[in-house]
Amino acid sequence: MNTEERGEKGDVLLEMKNIVIDGWSDERWHQIIRGVDLSLGRGEVLGLIGESGAGKSTLGLAAMGFVRPGCRLTSGSIMFDGMELSTASEPEKRRLWGTRIAYVAQSAAAAFNPAHRLIDQTIESSVRHDLMNEAEARENAISLYAAMQLPEPETIGFRYPHQVSGGQLQRAMTAMAMASRPDLIIFDEPTTALDVTTQVEVLAAMRDAIEQFNTAAIYITHDLAVVAQMADTIKVLRYGEEMEEAETRKMLTHPEHPYTKSLWSVRSIQKPAETSDDYILEINGVDAAYGKGLKVLHDVSIKVPRGRTVAIVGESGSGKSTTARVITGLLPPVAGEVLFDGQALPPELRQRSRAQLQHIQMIYQMADTAMNPKQTVAEIIGRPLEFYLNLRGKAREARIIQLLDLIELDESFYDRLPTELSGGQKQRICIARAVAAEPELIICDEVTSALDQIVQEGILKLLLKLQRDFGMTFVFITHDIATVKAISDEIVVMYQGRVVEQGLKDAILSPPFPEYTKLLLSSVPEMDPDWLSNLLAERAGA
């Protein structure tokens, strides 16, 4: 609240002891957090990392004294600045929330009310809790927008959430959390949904703001390189238990627990780049537009060699996904043509033959929305078998089990519903559905970006195996350079609907770079705690 009342940096602010939290599922209570201790001093930043389901968010929310519906705090004490939160009443806790403890959610787009202006939402908690009057709060908000390096801080608050970009919205949300000068902010994966180029700006702005106001923070993420930039200490969680906690530099250089070591070595997939002159897919001079006016692709030409992986990289809005829509026929191009196996594909989906549709399959980013929640795994995988290959009855069942085996899942998954699967399992089922059609080309649209690193690695290895065993061709759309390095043969860099360059992986990833490629590559966080500072210094100097 008041800066004067604050203690010195390093005084203990939050002390959580032996936290046990249960969650209700499958008709019984399960332990989600199994006796974790956490201690945080003023002005310190603690990084919480682990794969999904590790209990990161649950623990983060517990630091506010909040448990999600369907969960309960069974034991443990949460001392926040001399106040016991585990036994505090709802009104007592509500007085703390939004004033002394703030929360920044992963999806700012979902957390803002689309019907109110940004500034009204930013000042709401300060005004409601009578910390400031409205005029002061507005002035404060504007200074925070400036601190977060938002463009036009004087006026940006008068826009609605849909009128600013995702990165700006995430920064506005951090400004909202900062508005009442809280003692503690909980960041729950605040940059996971952003492009790398945007992520750098948001990280820098958040770090400056935390330092400036001497705020303590818990930073929840599954991205090690990001946490390395933000945190003073790192705590690794798995299955609700603490694996290891250490000061950031020590943790990065000398991880002790085998699980931590495995996290550190995840980006280990390497594949030598190969090329081929036998092109399975050629896109020639394609222009595409949504509606009549908005042209999103300009003279795009891409060649995809058979049995290889071509990665299309670029930030959001660069035309990557639109290119995929042109290939699949969802968006007929205005000009240019798509050749498959040397034959021109009809531009419209409806004019394509069943065989043409069968040869090109697609895997989506969000496995959640790519599977019908009311169909079982067998129905999802079995439909392409019926539809393209005319398999029925026992033959269909046998093939489904064979496909499940191929994606390293067992027969017990046969009649599960998507809601009974984890994120990685869902994506595997989507892969099985694409493979079931026995296609020649699979378009992977950001297939790993919604997944944790260890799960990502599993999926990428599976895709490489499929390519090796069946000679499949992949077009891999992504903004994650680490993934690109791991699995691609060729890289296409796109920016604002144009192809910046295309070539072999090694050629694209080594200098000299065109300007945009350089910006994109330099924005990928590295596992060096000084990376962000160095990058910012370098960019300021340049």
Residues lying near other proteins in the complex (CB under 8 A)? 24, 69-70, 72, 258-259, 261-262, 265, 268, 328-330, 349, 352, 354, 357, 361-362, 364, 366, 369-375, 383-384, 387-388, 407-412, 414-416, 422, 424-425, 428, 433, 437, 454-455, 457-458
Count Cβ atoms within 10 A of the Cβ of residue 1 and give its class: 0-12 exposed, 13-18 middle, 19 or more buried.
middle
**How far apart (Å, rounded) are the C-alpha atoms in residues 332 and 287?**
9
| Rounded least distance, CB 375 to other proteins, Å | 8
Name which of 249 and 257 has its Cβ closer to other proteins: 257
Name which of 82 and 350 has its Cβ closer to other proteins: 350
CB contact at 8 A, 142 and 154: yes
Name which of 56 and 352 has its Cβ closer to other proteins: 352
User: How far apart, in Å, are the Cα atoms of 249 and each of 245, 253, 529?
Assistant: 12, 6, 7
Residue 153: which residues within 8 A CB-CB, separation 6 or more?
Answer: 142, 143, 145, 146
**How far apart (Å, rounded) are the C-alpha atoms in residues 462 and 140?**
51
Name which of 109 and 454 has its Cβ closer to other proteins: 454
| Rounded least distance, CB 338 to other proteins, Å | 14
Coil, helix or strand for 150?
A: coil
Q: How far is CA 419 from the centre of its chain?
A: 20
| Rounded least distance, CB 139 to other proteins, Å | 41
Copy the structure tokens of residue 342. 């040397």
Name which of 397 and 526 has its Cβ closer to other proteins: 397
Name which of 234 and 377 has its Cβ closer to other proteins: 377
| Rounded least distance, CB 359 to other proteins, Å | 12
Coil, helix or strand for 17?
A: strand
| Rounded least distance, CB 44 to other proteins, Å | 29
DSSP string, 157-209: GGS-GGGS-HHHHHHHHHHHHHTT--SEEEEESTTTTS-HHHHHHHHHHHHHH
| Rounded least distance, CB 452 to other proteins, Å | 9
Angle between helices 196-213 and 515-522 (to 10 degrees): 50
Count Cβ atoms within 10 A of the Cβ of residue 397 and give its class: 0-12 exposed, 13-18 middle, 19 or more buried.
middle
CB contact at 8 A, 492 and 465: no
Name which of 22 and 188 has its Cβ closer to other proteins: 22
